[in-house]
A and B are shown apart, each in its own frame.
Chain A
Amino acid sequence: MKIALIDRDRSANWPGSTSRFAGLAALLRQFGHEVNLYDGAPAAELRAAPVLTGLNRAVAAGPMLDAYRLGQALVIQNPDLVVAPLNGGLAQGVLMARACGEAFSSTRVALWCDTPSRQRFLHADDATTGLSPLISDALERQSLAMADALIVPDAIRALPRAILSAESLPTIEAYLPGRPGGADVAPKGAITEIVFVGPIRRGAGLVEFVEAMQRLASDGLLKDRVVTLLGPARSDVQGIGKEWLGMRGHRWDFPFKVIEAGDPVGLSYVRKPSRLAVTFVDDDEDADVIRSVAHRVIVLSNSSAGTSPLVDRTEAALRSALGGEAIASPVPAPPTTDWGRLVNELTERPFRPAFQAPPARGITVCIVHFNRVMQLARALASIPDTVDGAPVEIIVLDNASAHPSIEEEIRSQAGERPHLRIIRLAKAVPQATALNMGLAQARFETVLFLDDDNYYLPSGVERLARAVANGGFDIVVTALDLFDDGASEQASSTGRLVFLGQAHSAGLFFNAFGDTAMAVRRDTFLGSGGFRDPGYDYPSLDWVTLAKSQAAGLRIGALQSPAVRYHRDIVRADMAANKLDQEGARLFVFEAYAGSFDAELMARYAQNLQFEEL
């Protein structure tokens, strides 16, 4: 069996962190499986045309790009089973490609349940102002909606209910083999130094640790002991950092020192047996790198659900350790998991998401045209007459082109097309009105839309329609292959613009949903009101309409491989009133959401942004 074990880059927790699945990989190889370990997504290939997002930012869009690149990389391996962490949503590219019928038709995907980005973002004090947590949240929600199983690595870990959709997702309790422990032999001798290990910030437990130290000091337990803070510290911040530490430190009557280190060499400081390391983690596996080094280590979970406050737990654990008692593990020794049986069980599970009856055969492609006959001819030539023996109807809505005999001109350029219908509008109407007219005129239940200066890649029509039919989606958008030279037949690719489909709360801020080059289930889409049409042209019709569709509960898929070549006209776009009106776009999108975003996530994001105004 081919198995891909994927871990996210966990160096943010502590540099030197290794894959959580290394031990599992060794075990599964002993069973004869072909196992590949992936440490995050492969790096971008700079020689290739870049992968772009509507956000236009490399770092904030990182989770989206990582999930996409990983999906593309795994296509070649075509594994039977993928295990990937929930946090970061790395599996989304694989799951979306599978749901859209592009790849991975026999691949099962199980998520390793770790702390979702949402939870980390809500409770971190030094979160970035970028959108990456919101993008990760969208990827994680999608992954939960499409994965086949959720592996919960300990019984007390809470399920990510806040981002779990109503559809049931099978959960399996299982534990990783080969986790590093502390020293084999408990060290003897006194503890002369207590070392906080981790970033100097609230989310890493620093404040609770400091409070616990003060309590211990007041009872004389820190006499003849040094307190060390080992980890990277920020400065010039209005939060927990060097300045804060200095202000708090003036009250401490115990000796302390700060070692600014954030690398494996710095971590070796805790190797000395007389030093007791204390660390705070979201997921127990995050402490593995410290366990592998320290002789004495206390690992505390940041999650306090159902237990006493973290500061009390910290104090109790420290009193116990300083009193000479054995350091208790934060969780009891896990039972052994029969991974040989478990992977077989996973590969026999039914695929998710649930099946939705496909639409009736036949496809309608709708193109709104205005004064671009040569480009329209190229678009028409890219549409087949039939797909799988079923007819492909083409509706061209001419939006009052200047040419006096435009219909004849289009027919002349299109050649012999049995299912071509041309609807000429004497007076120009807004784009949304024209698109809704085309939708209403469509004979078939699967309706595709295309701009007149774009065109389909080979099998593009077929792949979009198949994704609607097989994926259980109401709308399917596609990655776009960009070209800049509108006139050329063979214009080279200048990039690939990728989308999420269901963008969740991240879609409030940029168009992560998709372009109008999409396929819809006609009746469902019409039922939700079709394209948003206020009666005049407005900015970002695609963004607004897809946001509205998401709010109406429609499921939106996204082809990972481009089905459409998209004409990008940078110079003209810079001079288009609708492109300039980004404020208007956001207002329309906000209204389209109708409150269907994660309010807590938004509020926290706004708080972080407001910091720049202090």
Chain B
Amino acid sequence: MPFIRRFGVTCSATAIMPGRIFADLLRMLCRPQTIIGCVDGPSRGRLHGWAFDRRNPLQRLTVVMQHPDGRRLVTLADRYRADVQKAGIGDGHYGFSLPSPGMAGPVYVMQPRSAIALPLNPSRPPTGRRPQTHHAGSYRLHVDLLSPGQISGWAVDRARPELRRNLQLYCNGRFAGHRRATLYRPEIVDTQCDGYHGFWFALPAGELTSITIKDVGLDRSFVARLSFDP
């Protein structure tokens, strides 16, 4: 699109600016609209994200992570991401995954004469809600992910951490599943807990008006009614 029509000015841009500055300005203005993507965050020792060029959906972009220790990790963003495809972005083959055992650095999309920084995914964590913790004596039930399709957290009785909690999920008053809370959650490891207290449930499709988790352990029972803004 011509500069004048795009920005509504009537003077000649090229006449008052050196060519290189003009090109840089134009490139800077165009960037946000052509290259999109984000860094989703780390998972299982790798940093995940996606990057997509709207002008050229069949091009697979090269991304670079500048590691804090000075290393540059380069990879091709051509991994299939079902969520990206379902969001209507091309054929979904725009994901990347970089080894990130420790601290991750900024991630850039490499372009012929520039590097475009990818933002962090604004929807992570995807709950959009504050984590909730329910107490009863030495018992804790913590929910840290409540998003369409899934709910997860951890449950532990700190007085008897070796007894894994048996949880039942009720949605809109109906039984929706049961699961023993044994998934590994490193953030709760301490001298008492070995961390194997996590749970995860798939939530049923459709409108949810209430979610209740019942702990039906043999030693004691507990009911957590989650605060929920439908």
Residue ranges of A at the interface with B (Cβ–Cβ < 8 Å): 43-44, 46, 50-52, 56-60, 484-485, 487, 494-495, 568, 570-572, 575
Contacts and interface: CB of A to CB of B under 8 A. Distances in A.
Given A57-B79, A575-B200, 7 more contacts: A46-B91, A50-B93, A57-B78, A59-B60, A484-B82, A495-B85, A568-B82
Interface of B: 57-58, 60, 76, 78-80, 82-83, 85-86, 90-93, 149-150, 183, 200, 202, 205
Given A494-B86, A571-B150, A575-B200, A58 B80 contact: yes
A303 to B, nearest CB: 31
Given A43-B58, A571-B202, A58 B82 contact: no
A484 B85 CA distance: 12
Contacts of B83: 570
A51 B150 CA distance: 27
B87 to A, nearest CB: 12
B40 to A, nearest CB: 13
23 contacts: A43-B58, A44-B91, A46-B90, A46-B91, A50-B80, A50-B91, A50-B92, A57-B79, A58-B60, A58-B80, A58-B91, A59-B76, A60-B78, A484-B86, A485-B205, A495-B82, A495-B92, A568-B82, A571-B149, A571-B202, A572-B202, A575-B183, A575-B200
Contacts of B60: 58-59
A571 to B, nearest CB: 5
Contacts of A56: 79-80, 93
A180 to B, nearest CB: 30
A46 B57 contact: yes
Candidate in B80, B85, B202 with the most chain A CB atoms within 10 angstroms: B80
Nearest to B90: A46
A487 B206 CA distance: 12
Contacts of B85: 50, 494-495
Contacts of B150: 571
A58 B78 contact: yes
Contact of A57 (B80, B86, B91): B80
B58 A44 contact: yes
Nearest to B152: A575
B80 A52 contact: yes
Residue of A58, A59, A571, A575 contacting most chain B CB atoms (<10 Å): A58
Contacts of A485: 205
Contacts of A46: 57-58, 90-91
Contacts of A570: 82-83
Nearest 6 pairs of A and B residues by beta carbon: A58-B93, A50-B91, A56-B80, A58-B78, A59-B78, A570-B82
Contacts of B78: 57-60
Contacts of A575: 183, 200
A60 B76 CA distance: 10
Contacts of B183: 575
A51 B90 CA distance: 12
A484 B83 CA distance: 11
A196 B81 CA distance: 43
B93 A57 contact: yes
Contacts of B205: 485, 487
Contacts of A57: 76, 78-80, 93
Nearest to B92: A50
A478 B85 CA distance: 23
B113 to A, nearest CB: 16
Contacts of A59: 60, 76, 78
B49 to A, nearest CB: 15
A51 B80 CA distance: 10
Contacts of B202: 571-572
Contacts of B76: 57, 59
A46 B150 CA distance: 30
A495 B85 CA distance: 9
B1 to A, nearest CB: 23
A165 to B, nearest CB: 32
A490 B200 CA distance: 28
Nearest to A486: B205
Contacts of B149: 571
B76 to A, nearest CB: 6
Contacts of A44: 58, 91
Q: Considering residues B78, B86, B91, B149, which has the most beta carbons from chain A within 10 angstroms of its beta carbon?
A: B91
A575 B200 CA distance: 8
Contacts of B91: 44, 46, 50-51, 58
Nearest to A50: B91
A445 B53 CA distance: 51
Nearest to B77: A58
A58 B80 CA distance: 7
Contacts of A571: 149-150, 202
B135 to A, nearest CB: 27
Contact of A494 (B82, B90, B93): B82
Nearest to B95: A56
A52 B200 CA distance: 28
A485 B149 CA distance: 12
